[in-house]
Chains A and B, each alone.
Chain A
Amino acid sequence: DAEITQSPRHKITETGRQVTLACHQTWNHNNMFWYRQDLGHGLRLIHYSYGVQDTNKGEVSDGYSVSRSNTEDLPLTLESAASSQTSVYFCASSEGLAGAHINSYEQYFGPGTRLTVT
């Protein structure tokens, strides 16, 4: 069965370190998204990609970067981790408008990565 996975599931790191969170999907979806979830803020979009070599900033992109070298993966990098980036991070994917049907924008979510920056 197709799925979307994230690794690691839990990560503790120190302020100033570079951290990369992995996201891998086997849906063959064009679109991939990274969100962070914080109490009182719901889900906030960090970065998104509509296809290979395409990346776009979301509403809270400062301090984060992504790259899309293939369809399956969209790793999220924290260049220099800060305590304000302690959060739960979710990756999601959707087929996108290139899909053949109107439901192609439904998003499928990974299980999340809980990141703590000390």
Chain B
Amino acid sequence: GNSVTQMEGPVTLSEEAFLTINCTYTATGYPSLFWYVQYPGEGLQLLLKATKADDKGSNKGFEATYRKETTSFHLEKGSVQVSDSAVYFCALSDLQTSYDKVIFGPGTSLSVIP
């Protein structure tokens, strides 16, 4: 079945450091890929997405590229801020096999210290 694997952390970085959170997926069809972010005390919100191979999603300085050959969708940011402290979820939606459902990874907790 479909699944998402990501580094679980917690990840602690100093402000302005480079961030990478690894995400790999397993899917039988042609999924769309997402990164969701959950700030403390809030629900999840969509951060970025990519709907086909080689697409790059970007938002708020975060980027992720859909790599079909390595089944990966790693999240990167060049210079993190304290306000980026949150839990990040990699996710996929495969309309061919899991109609309208989103499969979430376990989440990666990020703490950015000044």
Contacts and interface: CB of A to CB of B under 8 A. Distances in A.
Interface of B: 32, 34, 41-46, 49, 51, 89, 93, 95, 99-102, 104-107
Contact of B44 (A45, A96, A103, A109): A109
A112 B43 CA distance: 6
Max chain A Cβ within 10 angstroms of own Cβ: one of B46, B100, B106: B100
A93 to B, nearest CB: 11
Contacts, number: 53
Contacts of A103: 49, 51
19 contacts: A40-B106, A42-B89, A42-B105, A43-B44, A43-B89, A50-B99, A50-B100, A92-B43, A96-B100, A97-B95, A97-B99, A103-B51, A105-B93, A105-B100, A106-B46, A106-B49, A108-B46, A109-B43, A111-B42
B106 A42 contact: yes
Given A94-B102, A105-B32, 19 more contacts: A31-B100, A42-B104, A43-B44, A43-B89, A45-B101, A48-B101, A90-B44, A92-B44, A97-B99, A102-B32, A102-B51, A105-B93, A107-B44, A108-B46, A109-B44, A110-B43, A111-B41, A111-B43, A112-B42
Interface of A: 31, 33, 40-43, 45, 48, 50, 90, 92, 94, 96-97, 102-103, 105-112
